[in-house]
Structure 1
Amino acid sequence: MDIRTLKKIDLNALVTLKVLLDEKHVTQTAHQLNLTQSAVSRTLAKLREMFNDPLLVKSGKHLALTNRAEKLQPQLNALLENASALLLPEKFNPATHKGSIRLATTDYGTHSLLPRLVPALNEVAPGVSLTAVDWRSNLLTELEENRVDLIIGGATVPPSDIFQRIVAHDHFVAVVRKSHPYAQKITLDQYLQLKHVMISPTGTGNSGIDDLLAFNRHKRNISVRVPHFFAALEIIATTDMIILLPAKFVRRYVSEDKYSVLPPPFEIPPMEISMFWHARMHHDPLHQWFRQFVYDTIYDRSR
């Protein structure tokens, strides 16, 4: 590909050339393109210089194509057809599309959201595959570097090149083993005296719960941090520790025969679960469709 040659190409002039070669008449070409006859004549002069060929010559009362023009015509038609296709919206049909989505999510997303997403996705878009990866601290960077396509996790304020949309809501409940001393009811003082298990995908730091307690001059004793819900439940089942978990996960997976579920002894704002994507994928047809599919599938309008 010769960039210097391409820079000389005037697409509007090529459109005029196509009509000229089809009509073989300057006046009719001008009428069809809503141009003046003199404008078409000037463009034809430039085209003759560009191709170093007359392109159209007089033949009696009409114009005829030169040999070069006859060879150019099918190539020109194909070129303009392809150029036109570039400007058309990309057609997307989920039922026939073949593609893949790389989704990063927390343990909550894996257990509470994917079981609803995957069966529906397989039904409406069987050719679209989904790869889920674990949550980690540098996911926004991976999103920017195109290593993941979509993140589903707790709502936050992302960088300016990252889009966000809330797709789910939930609330926290407290979980202890069935034979726990506070299995029936727990006060704030009792809650603070207990050892706590905390879900931490990265194994470090505190959570919004700790910030909320600190705001009210309280602090809980985090004894164990684990990345996965089921590991946390096994610890809860064999100790007098306590954990806060999302209610939707608890309703789906936590056995009432083994655990007691209690309301937290202090007010906790509802959880907001968002999906995040980079501006690079904002207009991609597959990704636009998939984001709307996620929202339609998991957003709870009855909350």
Structure 2
Amino acid sequence: MTPAKPNPASINFAALDTLRLVDELQSFTAAAEKLQVNQSAVSYTIAKLRACFHDPLFVREGGQQVATERCKEILAKSLQMLEMLDEMAQPEVFDPRLSERNITIACNYYERILLVPDIIAAIRRQAPHMTVKVINALGDGHLRLLNREADVLVGPFARTESGFHSRRLYVEEYACLMDPSHPLADGQLDIARYLDLNHVLIDYGGGWKSAYLQELEAAGHTLTPTVAVPSPAGLATLLAGSDLVATIPRRLGERSADHLVVAESPFPGRFDLSIVWAAHTNGSAMHRWLRNTIWETCRG
């Protein structure tokens, strides 16, 4: 009867390392002392390997355990695997100055206007040979992380479920943006006056609802917009010289307010701006560098 083929599932790297030590020390006892285990554990491991490879592996000669020719062949190949395992176990080294990798950042309009220019400048300073791609996150940017379409997600997208990690950059809030000639530009906006305004609603789509709207609706109110637009792009031109008012993140409003007024909103809808990443990139040296670069550049 032909012997059964060796079963790789019955072999692990610890067993191969034991095989290596016995060959090196030519003794089961010395190998057990080196591994800090009982000699019976070494004998049991070698017995399993003997059964797997259908070879005695070691024979006793002159009071020493001498490897068979078959054992020498097995050791030659297993040592390569053990060396590869040792290399994989070493900390990953990443030098941004030499890297030519492409990185992808998922975000939306706010981040592209306020954060991305500084992020790209910082990346270019540290990693001049890397390339950067910026893609829309919309409301499901976390799926782009899971699908490996993006390396990081930047914005109000902190995830609490398993499979994700996040780090807060800063806290943002909403404010009202309007023309200086608006009758309430110098006044305090209470809830009644705010709800009575001619609102420009930024409807991002994709199921996304701004934090101030969530706060407003949680208080039992409804906002009826006069105008709805899909993005804050061109908002300053739309508001200039009109009685329209838009509620947008304060920092974005201040960036857009060359000739406009930023006023307090009764529904500030405070939220966190965060870096979000998938668990499968958590230990990557390149991704750690990227996240730290973004955090150091954007923290408020």
TM-score by length of 2: 0.79
- The residue aligned with 1:199 is 202
1:247 corresponds to which of 242, 245, 250:
250
Is the CA contact 1:107–1:227 (under 8 Å) kept in the aligned structure 2? no
More displaced 10-residue stretch of structure 1: 104-113 or 186-195: 186-195
- Distance between the aligned counterparts of 2:62 and 2:211, measured in 1? 87
Considering only aligned residues, what root-mean-square deviation do their CA atoms show, in Å? 3.4
Match of 1:227 among 209, 227, 230: 230
Report the Cα offset of residue 109 of structure 1. 0.8
The match for 1:47 is: 49
Secondary structure of the 2:276 match is strand
> 1:114 is matched by which residue type in structure 2?
V
Q: Is the 8 A contact 1:167 1:274 kept in 2?
A: yes
Alignment correspondent of 1:103: 105
- Please list the CA deviations of residues 177-217 of structure 1 after superposition, one character each: whole Å capped at 9, or x if unmatched: 34445444464455444322222321877633334445566
How big is the shift at 1:107?
0.9
Provide the TM-score with structure 1 as the length reference. 0.78
State the AA in 2 paired with 1:111.
I
Are the counterparts in 2 of residues 203 and 226 from structure 1 also a CA contact under 8 Å? no
Residues 255-293 of structure 1: CA deviation (Å, up to 9, x unaligned): 2xxx22232253625342123333333334333333333
Equivalent-residue separation in structure 2 for 1:182 and 1:63 (angstroms): 94
Structure 2 partner of 1:276 = 276
The 1:67/1:220 distance shift into structure 2, 3 A limit, reads: closer
Matched residue type, 1:194: L
Aligned to 2:82: 80
Segment of structure 1 superposing worse, 95-104 or 239-248: 95-104
Which residue of 1 is the match for residue 288 of structure 2? 288
- Report matched runs for 1:54-65 at 5 Å: 54-60=56-62, 62-65=64-67
Displacement of 1:121: 1.7
SS at match of 1:230: coil
Unaligned runs of 5+ in 2: none
**1:36-185 alignment, distance < 5 Å:** 36-60=38-62, 62-154=64-156, 158-185=160-187
Instruction: In structure 2, give the amino acid aligned to 1:77.
Output: L
Counterparts of 1:92 and 1:228, CA distance in 2: 38
Looking at structure 2, the residues matched to 70 and 63 of structure 1 have their Cα atoms a distance apart, in angstroms, of 13
Structure 1 range deviating more: 92-101 or 9-18: 92-101
Equivalent residue letter for 2:210 = S
Conserved? CA contact 2:236–2:260, under 8 Å: no
| Percent identical residues | 25
Unaligned runs of 5+ in 1: none
3-state SS of paired residue (1:84): helix
3-state SS, counterpart of residue 222 of structure 1: coil
1:261 aligned onto 2:265: no
> Cα–Cα, structure 1 residues 123 and 26, in superposed 2: closer, same or farther, change >3 Å?
same
Q: Structure 1 59/267 Cα, relative in aligned 2: closer, same or farther at 3 Å?
A: closer
* Change in 2 beyond 3 A, CA 1:52/1:207: closer
Equivalent pairs, count: 295
> Is the alpha carbon distance of 1:70 and 1:159 closer, same or farther for their aligned partners in structure 2, counting shifts above 3 Å?
closer
Give, in whole Å, the separation in 1 of the partners of 2:212 and 2:77. 67
Separation in structure 1 between the aligned mates of residue 155 and residue 96 of structure 2, nearest angstrom? 25
Q: Once structures 1 and 2 are overlaid, which stretch shifts more, 268-277 or 13-22? A: 268-277
Aligned-partner residue type, residue 200 of structure 1: D
